[in-house]
Structure 1
């Protein structure tokens, strides 16, 4: 077992669980590749912002943070989620990480382990996406001073950081629940059905659901609604609450399914 993981497990659980989960989430080649992809995406957004700022027309600088958030979430964010969650429950069981966590937390072993895994992945996702959004938003604000769009860029950046937080808090339990205990093929099929298929059927869903809720029928659309409710000239508190409630329900269901998957793994060894 890698030394950093042993060190975190040797600390008091209440102060080290998220750090442990973050170390586990970022371990391996593909998660590091996701960080590289995030860096390239952020750099591209910064360069594009600077290029647009030099145009004589009125470039949409207030949208740069939003575009960066979407690119990071559905690019590097998905890559990191999939790589970190794929067969993570089985891998932790076979490598003894769960047993060591249980030795430190006693009766709270299962809950503490799940918290470490989900919160650690969520923290890694938010740090990666939110960091890129903050940098792109700051550059947009500096570039927009001559156009008088600093406040709009700042508001868009805040909305995009909320988007990043919503993505992290929702995608982390979903990825762990669907990919953590399944085979590679089964896990990817599950993610396709739960995350991307509803987006493809969104137009159909909007026709059968009440108008305020139709846009919340898929995870990408619900996240876009969460951000859109805070964007300049489109602030809508009720829309924000609806999106937050739907995303919270999705995360809670995923956590419940994750706990069930963990109990099934435990039964396999009895």
Structure 2
């Protein structure tokens, strides 16, 4: 995938619209819910911030991925949950309020954890002359890319709740279509590059996706969280913000390594199918329990 103006300009713009849409759906109460219901939020964050990067590291090692591909997969593991997790959680009868809180909190925390995980990954997988660490100035850019639009969206919702409610769905639809168009055009432009790496990283991305869903669902179940909370965390952990990972990888001002964008791009294609199957299976097995909890 080539870091040309199509991606370096329009991809961050798509990410900004997506994060603006997230902000339009958030209030300060979504962050305050951490204090009110700390256990499910903490379990979700531990899965996302600690368990997943460790699992991803061993997957990258096990598949002997090329250095840039390994770092790209680690970059994806460090990214927060995507906003689509809220929709999939809703369709699978999960605790959507928990999804919203996890997305909000982890999007803030990821600004600090992503540079740490990426720098450690680059130091391990890549030679010293290949690495381009995320330095403090670049971390500030990530902060602005991720949290700036979220803050604007939250401010709009606070100052004009009616307008925010009216624009919430159109902004999300627009951002999804815009993002899909940008990625499709990028894939078509560099189809040969994508296909050359697909065989090498595709299976690793699928395994990481399945591990993410399994960790997100079974760790909460083992910690005795409710079924709806476990479904929510499973979707949150399994559906990553691949757009953020791709934007960071391609941006000339940040990582500037198009190869690192390949794993998030392939994962982003896979995750919607596996998340759909996951939601269907859980509802097929636990349909009566979910129906009873909804009654």
TM-score, with normalisation over the residues of structure 1?
0.40
Larger relative contact order (C-alpha < 8 A, sep ≥ 6)? 2
Question: Over alpha carbons, which structure has the higher Rg?
Answer: 1
TM-score, with normalisation over the residues of structure 2?
0.37
